[in-house]
Amino acid sequence: MRQVYRLLANLIALGVVVQVASIALAWFITLHDLDEGLVLDENFDYNVGHVAHAIGGLMVIPLLALLLMVVSFFAKVDGGVKWAALVLLAVVVQILLAFVSFGLPWLGALHGINALVVAGLASMAARRSLKGRTRESVAA
């Protein structure tokens, strides 16, 4: 279970990287489309980057965070439940910031900053799963 805990935590951190890439892709596609003469209006169609960002942020990462929380009770990682809870809390804050930022766009900056918090907490959780192991057992 310790390996599952580490895998889930690392997948969350990797998921943040994918989120960054997908939202960058989304807006570069949008800017390219604007350069080509398309107009942003109420009929704006979200592109593949926006869709990937929405799916990752509203379904994949939250599911991974919930799974990490459940696994944390069985993984026997020192402080594992605490770190999993912090990851889950940061993911919930991330989702709330996303929705609130549509009405208060300046909060979008906090959404971006909190993404780094999610990645950092998930990475720390993964590292905690290695604590207490000897070099020989890690190499094996």
Which of 88, 83, 97, 86 minimizes the C-alpha distance to 66?
88
Instruction: Compute the radius of gyration of the chain from its Cα atoms.
Output: 18
Range of 68's domain?
2-139
- SS3 category, 84: helix
Domains of the chain: total: 1
Which of 109, 87, 103, 102 minimizes the C-alpha distance to 16?
87
Model confidence, pTM? 0.89
Please tell me the distance from the alpha carbon of residue 94 to that of residue 104, in angstroms, as a whole number.
14
End-to-end Cα, the chain, rounded Å: 17
pLDDT of residue 136: 45
For the chain, 140 residues long, give each residue's pLDDT as a single digit of tens: 999 999 999 999 999 999 999 999 999 999 999 999 988 888 778 899 999 999 999 999 999 999 999 999 999 999 999 999 999 999 999 999 999 999 999 999 999 999 999 999 999 999 999 986 644 455 55
pLDDT of residue 45: 81
Please tell me the distance from the alpha carbon of residue 87 to that of residue 93, in angstroms, as a whole number.
10
